[in-house]
Structure formats: C-alpha cells, structure tokens
Amino acid sequence: METSFVEILDSTLRDGEQTNGVSFLPHEKLMIARMLLHDLNVDRIEAGSARVSDGEKDAISMICRYAQQIDRLDRVEVLGFVDGHQSIDWIADCGCRVVNLLAKGSLKHCRQQLGKSPDEHIADIRRSVAYAKERGMAVNLYLEDWSNGMKDSPQYVYQLMDALVDSGIRRFMLPDTLGIMNPLQVIDYMRKMVKRYPDTHFDFHAHNDYDLAVSNSLAAVYSGAQGLHVTVNGLGERCGNAPLSSVQVILKDQFRARTSIVEDKLNAISRMVESYSGIAVAPNQPIIGDNVFTQVAGVHADGDKKDRLYQNDLVPERFGRRREYALGKTSGRANIAKNLEELGLELTPEQQRRVTERITELGDKKEIVTQEDLPYIVSDVLKHDTPDDKVKLVSYVVSTAYGLKPGANIKVEINGQQYEAAGTGDGQYDAFVKALRYIYRKYLDRTFPTLANYAVTIPPGGRTDALVQTVITWDDNGRLLRTRGLDADQTEAAIKATFKMLNIIENEQNNEL
C-alpha cells in the first residue's frame, strides 16, 4: 500500500511526563526537545501543559527560545484549556505560537465533567479560538474521549465538528483517551470522520491499555489520518502511548509511508529519555531494546555469515546500532567464531571446541556471557594462549563512617608498574573510581572512560542471598563498552567489571603498539 506523508507529533514532554513517577527538570526537557527537533527532525513536539507550574513555564520558555533560534518555533505546541483567556495568555507568555486546545469529544464528558450543554461548550471553544487568533496563535483542537464519543454519542461529535470545522482550527486531534479501541473500530470511526469532513486534517492519539497503540495508529493512517501522536519509549500514563520507534519503522516498512524522522537517532533519544525518566526500556522492546539485535543461536550466526539468512529490513546500522552475537548454551561454533573474529582472536579448531564447551557449561548455569567476557573465558580455558591481565588490582581498602564521605585506598599494577592512590566519593565504588582516575591522570597522563550507566541485578536463576551482577556501560571517547562483574559483594562486582574494561582498553593499546 502506498501512502502519502504522515506527520509525527511527539508528546514525550507532555503526555509522556504523565507516566507515574516521571518529572523532567526544565533543562532535561530542553535537552529532549533539542534532540527531537534538531537531530530526529520530528514534525511537531508537545512541550507541556499550560498553567501547571513555574518550572513548566520556564521549561517551555527555554524550548521556545531554542526553537526560535533554529527557525522551528512553529513546531512547538502546548496543551491549553477552554478557560477563557488564561491558558492562551500563559502559552503566549512562554513565546509559544501554537496551542493544542483541549475540548470534550464525548457527550458524557461535556455534560458530566463540564456540566454544560453542547451548544454552551461550542460557544466557549469558539471564543477561545477567536482569542488565540487575535494573539497571532495557531490552534489545534483535541476532542478528548473521542473514541467513547464515536461509540456512545456520534451525533454529539458531528455537532461539534459541524460547528467548528470552518472556524480556523488547523488540526482536529482524535484521542483514544482511555485506550479502549481496536484497529477495526479505528478504521470504522476514522473513515466516518474523513468521509464527512474530507478537507480536514486529522491526528490520531493512541493509548496502549490493550497493547494496541501501534496497531491502532496504523489503522488510523490506513483510514485517512494525516498525523500520529507518539512518545519516546512509549511513555505515558497507565500503559503508555504509541512508541515513536515502532510507529516509525512500521509506517516506513509496512505502509511505505514517508515521514521526517531521522532513524539513526532513534536509539540516542531512547537512551536519553530512559536516563532522564528513570524508566528502563525492556531488553526485548523492538528497535530500541538491548537484546533486539543480539543473536544467540549458533545457526543464526552461521546463516548470517553465509548470506544474511537471519536478517530482515530492521538492520541495526539503520538505527545507529550494530548486530551482536550473544554467547550461551545454544551458541555453537559459528556464533563463537563470529565473536572471536570481531575481537581479532584466532584459535585452532581444538581450542574453539574447548572454549565452546566452557560457554555451554556457563549457559547451563544461566550465567550471562558477553563478547567482553570472551577473552577471559579463552584465558581461563587456554591459560598459555592469551596474555595475562595488563591491569591488576593488588590491594584496596574502602571505608565509610557516619558524617564522613566514603573513602578508598588502592594499589594497582599497570603493565608491571605499581601505583597507589586514595580518593573520596559519594559511595565506596565512587571513591574507588576517583582514586583510579587520579592514577591514570597523574602517573599515566591518560583519560579514564566516563561511566554512562550502572545497573545491579541478581543473575538469572540467582537468589537475593547469593551473587549479584553489576553491569557497567562506559563511554570511551564516544565508544560504548559494557562490562559485567559477578560477586557476592556489590562493590567487588563493580570493581571486577571496571578492571575488565581497563584490560580491554589496555590490550587494544598494546596491540596498536
């Protein structure tokens, strides 16, 4: 099916911030807006809601100033209410020039929530639209609870539309506010709207209560909607909204639709929002999850090597990522050989067999094995075939006391030379890393990778009174390294992960020499 251009509105900063426990700081909202507008080239963003707080006003004002600088102020929109002049004045004071006015899209909401008749509500909306136009602002109109309106009171929806379709409203935005619809209903209701108002721009705004937000969004486009509302990582209240990444790739690959989105920035915006929101992305979340471009089965690695037999259009490079071949009990020789090849390690068939046996043994215990772990497994299995660690921990002491910052005293050996240092930090591990940074800066005149992410979990199949697993992601001049440490003590596990990272970098530097 060939479709025309589909406009994308990202509501992460408004609807996404309604996720339970999520509240972005003003500068965080600005950073997200910058990436959405500039890097991803999203058509429109909903930057927030009127009259929420002074912090919200500061954030929206900063976003509008930035958008003005890059000549994209017309892409910034703010949710306003039918409250006379208050919302419109508030939004105009922020420097925003587009208001998304929230009206009632069902008779039940109109009568029971507002306590007004349809004619009274329509008159209020018209006054707000007229005032916004007086202030030089464009107006889009939300029909809140439109899905229930079409189900229970379609004549009310048509009455509203008939009265407003020629009022100068730029877009009519149709939300499934309570997430009750399925794709067949979306097709039915959207086609009725498009047929009755053929020259009107309709947006569709999905919620994911039945896990149908993406399907319903596509059904809306199929039926004539010209715009879709999404959020990064599917953030939103209750079960969230339609995820930007999923909507984008299905529009492009399945519908052959055109959008403005720069796909290789999808992973970067996902990671930024994950960090600021504190809401982790599921490892198997399509496009942006940690595991989606990781093959485990050995037959997949073999097929990919021969002719990309296990790959589809969702190639990782398209999204600024790369394919990985995880190691486990189903890996097989082909998978392990692929990882060894990427690391530049050459083993004889017999050596590969022994390494494969060791990985299978670890997989049976449900231990996670990564490419970064592979050199250490090789070293463990084939003692004399790989060099010893270049960076070693000789000894350390970490301490904490009431009223004092945690401290660390460490002694390390780097390429045969021992160094000592002390440090303090916000925690025992932070103190340890600061001491390490001091050694690298003072004695080696080298930079130390920055910590990008830090997660502590119980290993798969583990128990709370047994081992913990620390996974640390490092930023080494723009290159991300992820290493894991396993120990009964959380700090010790983090230290092990740290020394894995340091040895990876040291071995690479020595190989270059």
Q: Would you name the residues annotated as active-site residues?
A: 14, 144
**Residue 295 CB partners (closer than 8 Å, separation 6+):** 301, 304, 310, 323, 324, 325, 326, 335
Give the C-alpha separation, 360 to 469, whole Å: 19
Q: Give which of 411, 407, 386, 401 is closest to 503, Cα–Cα.
A: 386
Question: Does residue 334 sit in helix, strand or coil?
Answer: helix
Q: Are 251 and 280 in contact (CB under 8 A)?
A: no
CA gap 142, 79 in Å, rounded: 9
Q: How many CA atoms lie within 13 A of 157 on its CB side?
A: 25
How many H helices and E strands in the chain?
A: 17, 16
Token pair in block for residue 513: 């020499």
Contact status, residue 403 vs residue 420, Cβ threshold 8 Å? no
Instruction: Report the C-alpha gap between 9 and 220 in whole angstroms.
Output: 14
DSSP structure class, residue 466: S
CB-CB contact of 488 with 468 (8 Å): yes
The phi, psi pair for 157, rounded to 5°, reads -60, -45
Helix, strand, coil percent content, the chain, rounded in steps of 5: 45, 20, 35
Facing residues of 243 across strands? 231
